Chains A and B, each alone.
Chain A
Amino acid sequence: MHRPPSRRPLRRRAALVAGLALAAAAVTAPAHAAPSVTDVALAAPATVEVGAEVTVTVTGTGALDLYAYDLAVSYDPDLVAFVAGSGTTPDGGFDDVSDDASGTVAVTHTRLGTSPGLEGDVTLATLTFTAVADGDAAFAVPAATLVGADAAQASLTDAASAVTTITAAATPTTPPTDVPTDVPTDGQSPDDGGTTAPGDDDASDSSSPSTGSGSSGWLASTGASIAWVVAAALLAVAAGVVVLLVRRRAVTSR
């Protein structure tokens, strides 16, 4: 059953979504019944460090009769990797989130049976990526198709975008300073002197966009720590690859 994974279908699908969007723009949608959202927004953290998670949410405001939708979230595969299985859509429906590992996550969601369409402000998708390299990582929703309970459709193009600046975490930008005043309490540092009470330094949380100076100071203070961070970053990349491989295996054995 094992066979090389093919990305072709996903590209095809992305192209299809875009094609539909163009086609729909030329077709007058039924005026009275088309599903709609007044606005689509994409939210992503302003900055994260390499190795951190990047949580991207796509929200629709003022949704009307939104029974199903299909949207593409584009990302920079050189800078971030999608965390397999991390995609979520509104509760109580069926969804399918698929990543082509080369820059597009396709999100499909539908309500079930004779259920009404979604109304109001809706989180259409929540996706988690891992930052793998520094740079400005652009996220966007190049295309979306909305389907109403009455099968009417509407399409959106270039619906939303955002940029997350990924910083090369742990790269010292200032000369080493004196004895650290703020030591992480996670026990992973070999020279954790226990000078700080546990739990009082949330800034060390890897998912935080904060780049507080205390952390830099600590990182800068020991070469060992720097090596650990670099190793962690490499590990994160490797983990991403492993996840992808695992996912592909899962797919091809389906």
Chain B
Amino acid sequence: MTTTHRRAATGGLAALTVGGLVLGVTTAPVASGAPAAAAAPGPASASLLAPYWTELDLTGDDQVTTDDLALVSAALGATSADAAWDDVATADTDGDGTITVADLAAVSQRMVHDDGPFELVEASVLDMQAAMNAGVTTSVAITQEYLDRIAAYDTTLVDTGAGGRPLHSIITTSDVALHAAARADAVRAEQGMTSLLLGVPVALKDNYDTVDMATTGGCGCWDGNQTTTDATMVGGLRADGAVVLAKASLDEFAFGFASEFSSFQDAGTSTLVASPYMTSRTAGGSSGGTGAAIAANLAAVGFGTDTGGSIRVPSSYNQLVGVRPTIGLASRDGIIPLALSQDTGGPMARSVLDAAVALDAVVGVDPADPVTSTQQGKVPASYTQYLDADALAGTRIGYVPSMIGNNATTRRLWEQTRATLEQLGATVVEVTPPTTWSPVLPNGFASVLSEGSGSTNEFKHDLDEYVANHLSPEVAARSLAGIVESGRYVPSRRSTYVSRDAITEETYQAWAGPEGSHTKVLAEGKVLVTAMLDDADLDALVYPSANPYGTIGTNLRLSPNSGLPAVSVPIGQAVEADATITGAGVNLEFLGRDFEEGPLLGLAYALEQATHARTSPVLYGPLG
């Protein structure tokens, strides 16, 4: 709708002189001589569609550039009495009926450009783009600094306190990341900021296939799995100019919440991933390496996978924004599976904006993962368009009291957040879930939450598919049985792998086949939870993702057991008076309807902008 208005404004400005009114007689305005290295050409379409960054655009390209400033400066002195006022009224930011230099400044401030000092620690994707656009830094410099941080911090004992451990969040760093960064810098020099991910270094959980680094799944048994293709999601990231920096550690084959892995280690040994806030604690899992790495600023943005909580748990433990998308939004092809009925890949980031930008790069229909065809017509031009600090105003946010739990920190932060939500204009609604539903869900909502993870019955089946389609021929362990035989895995896993190897095709079909019990529960779970949202006219259901370094009941199962998307966002930390784990983070999860990642990101953004609850781990500050 606003696009139409902008196009009208553009046409109108060409006709500014009609009627004898010349709003400004000027020499051609130019961006004055910035240093040669600095002046990136005018940005191409970069898909930063958050209203703040588009609302003052006058030229119809959804961004403020020097072209817009030229229009504003040409109109300096124009007043609301002028015939052509409508064409520049957007630029009257202070609403005084006159275009002044203050309005020019206000419009200019919506450019993605910053020539001030650049600090990488806690920099958002937008900070990086603004600094690169101004020539203050480059992708090569940013990539090198992240590599330096990984080298300095990841396997070093930084925390000398009791129980302190190295993070061990990275399995492999790329030998070619700097080349990719140089290419991104060349693209910027020639074409401007073609994407908000241009030149941005990303860390991927080591179950995403990458052509330039082996994909171990966290298992020593697959150290040699150098695939010949990228996972589809990785291809999307590279297409947007992202620099694939490193492969992050994980709980072996993405099983559990501890993040214990055996890659590139001797048989019979394994390593745990630590939380950078408290290295004696786990980073959570299974995407724990991604969680620790992004929290400790070892990469700009990360990706994890979530079957039953594996993005949201490490996001909560490491004060990150985590997105578990709708099944079908992003292709799983080329990701080592755990249970395809519930597997998802999604971003983990230090801000909602970063998460939205990262999600934009990985959506799309992929014939290799047929469920992605369900997204047709449901994916916005950019998730950033929902990032409005007022997004909570007028919304209805539901919660189920039993999902809040009894942890003192979580309860306190929930009450605080509830008040914030209300201050921001949301109506917070207590929801009483259905206690009966159908033969498949006899106890209604409780039946949805009690359905188990698909991994027990699906792992062997789905792993075999990955082996057939993606596993490098160099790898000897080509089945669950082969993995057990190799002896190269997390030692405590043996019995689990053996039992999962015993799952028969009949068991799999009875569970995950077209008429399987799990298939039915998930399908009906989606209907039931959607009905809960509809009946109470809710925009989202909220609940804590986790307690301080611990899970809450079955909260994490709601999203995977309904297939509905969830966005997890930090709401605060434990304080001493809570008598829990002082300093530990807690996230709130927003769950919404199918393919409503956009509105959910908007709600999370509004809350984030009001609270800025994330803290940076003090142990991993700027390198000296």
Chain A interface residues toward B at CB < 8 A: 3, 5-10, 12-13, 16, 20, 67-70, 84-85, 87-100, 106, 108-116, 145, 147, 149, 151, 153, 247-248, 250-252, 254
Q: Report yes or no: B101 in contact with A69, Cβ–Cβ below 8 A.
A: yes
Q: Report yes or no: B115 in contact with A112, Cβ–Cβ below 8 A.
A: yes
Given the complex, which residues of A lie within 8 Å of B76, measured CB to CB?
Answer: 13, 70, 96, 106, 108
CB-CB nearest in chain A for B17: A3
Stretch among B104-112, B137-145, B201-209, B299-307 lining the A interface: B104-112
| Most chain B Cβ neighbours within 10 Å, of A20, A96, A99 | A96
Residue B83 at the chain A interface, CB threshold 8 Å: no
CA–CA, A35 and B17, complex, Å: 34
In the complex with contacts A92-B34, A108-B76, A114-B113 CB distance below 8 A: yes
Q: Report yes or no: A247 in contact with B27, Cβ–Cβ below 8 A.
A: yes
Given the complex, which residues of B lie within 8 Å of A151, measured CB to CB?
Answer: 94, 102, 105-106
CB-CB nearest in chain A for B127: A114
Given the complex, which residues of A lie within 8 Å of B31, measured CB to CB?
Answer: 93-95, 112
Given the complex, which residues of B lie within 8 Å of A5, measured CB to CB?
Answer: 22, 25
A76 to chain B, nearest CB (A): 20
4 other A-B residue contacts (CB within 8 Å) besides A108-B76, A151-B102: A3-B17, A108-B104, A111-B115, A250-B28
Pick from B25, B32, B115: contact of A6, CB below 8 A.
B25
Pick from A8, A93, A115, A254: contact of B32, CB below 8 A.
A93
Given the complex, which residues of B lie within 8 Å of A9, measured CB to CB?
Answer: 21-25, 77
The digit string for B68-101, where 1 denotes a CB below 8 A from any CB of A, is 0110011011000000000000000010001011
> 22 A–B contact pairs at CB < 8 A?
A9-B21, A9-B22, A16-B77, A91-B35, A92-B32, A92-B34, A92-B35, A93-B32, A94-B69, A94-B73, A95-B31, A96-B74, A108-B101, A110-B104, A111-B108, A113-B111, A113-B133, A115-B114, A116-B116, A147-B101, A147-B102, A247-B27
CA–CA, A94 and B105, complex, Å: 10
Q: Report yes or no: A92 in contact with B100, Cβ–Cβ below 8 A.
A: no
* B23-78 residues at the A interface, CB under 8 angstroms: 23-35, 38, 66, 69-70, 73-74, 76-77
CA–CA, A106 and B100, complex, Å: 12
CA–CA, A113 and B130, complex, Å: 8
In the complex with contacts A92-B38, A151-B94, A68-B105 CB distance below 8 A: yes
Q: Which 6 A-B pairs have the closest CB atoms?
A: A113-B113, A70-B101, A13-B77, A68-B105, A96-B73, A113-B111
Residue B20 at the chain A interface, CB threshold 8 Å: yes
Residue B546 at the chain A interface, CB threshold 8 Å: no
A171 to chain B, nearest CB (A): 34
B124 to chain A, nearest CB (A): 11
| Most chain B Cβ neighbours within 10 Å, of A20, A92, A93 | A92
Q: Report yes or no: A95 in contact with B29, Cβ–Cβ below 8 A.
A: yes
A86 to chain B, nearest CB (A): 9
CB-CB nearest in chain B for A147: B105
| Most chain A Cβ neighbours within 10 Å, of B101, B102, B134 | B101
CA–CA, A112 and B104, complex, Å: 10
Given the complex, which residues of B lie within 8 Å of A16, measured CB to CB?
Answer: 77, 98, 100
B116 to chain A, nearest CB (A): 4
Given the complex, which residues of A lie within 8 Å of B70, measured CB to CB?
Answer: 94, 96
Q: Report yes or no: A115 in contact with B33, Cβ–Cβ below 8 A.
A: no
Q: Report yes or no: B17 in contact with A68, Cβ–Cβ below 8 A.
A: no
Q: Report yes or no: B20 in contact with A6, Cβ–Cβ below 8 A.
A: yes
Q: Report yes or no: A98 in contact with B69, Cβ–Cβ below 8 A.
A: no
B595 to chain A, nearest CB (A): 33
CB-CB nearest in chain B for A114: B114
In the complex with contacts A70-B100, A70-B101, A108-B76, A90-B32 CB distance below 8 A: yes
CA–CA, A107 and B23, complex, Å: 16
Q: Report yes or no: B116 in contact with A100, Cβ–Cβ below 8 A.
A: no
B448 to chain A, nearest CB (A): 45
Given the complex, which residues of B lie within 8 Å of A250, measured CB to CB?
Answer: 27-28
CB-CB nearest in chain B for A84: B27
Given the complex, which residues of B lie within 8 Å of A111, measured CB to CB?
Answer: 105, 108, 115
The digit string for B197-227, where 1 denotes a CB below 8 A from any CB of A, is 0000000000000000000000000000000
Q: Report yes or no: B66 in contact with A98, Cβ–Cβ below 8 A.
A: no
| Most chain B Cβ neighbours within 10 Å, of A95, A100, A106, A108 | A108
CA–CA, A6 and B20, complex, Å: 8
| Most chain B Cβ neighbours within 10 Å, of A88, A110, A151, A250 | A110
| Most chain A Cβ neighbours within 10 Å, of B35, B66, B104, B114 | B104
Q: Report yes or no: B29 in contact with A251, Cβ–Cβ below 8 A.
A: no
CA–CA, A84 and B17, complex, Å: 22
Pick from B24, B105, B116: contact of A110, CB below 8 A.
B105
In the complex with contacts A89-B32, A92-B32, A108-B73, A98-B25 CB distance below 8 A: yes
CB-CB nearest in chain B for A251: B25
CA–CA, A70 and B111, complex, Å: 20
CB-CB nearest in chain A for B68: A94
A137 to chain B, nearest CB (A): 21
Given the complex, which residues of A lie within 8 Å of B26, measured CB to CB?
Answer: 96-98, 251
| Most chain B Cβ neighbours within 10 Å, of A13, A112, A248 | A112
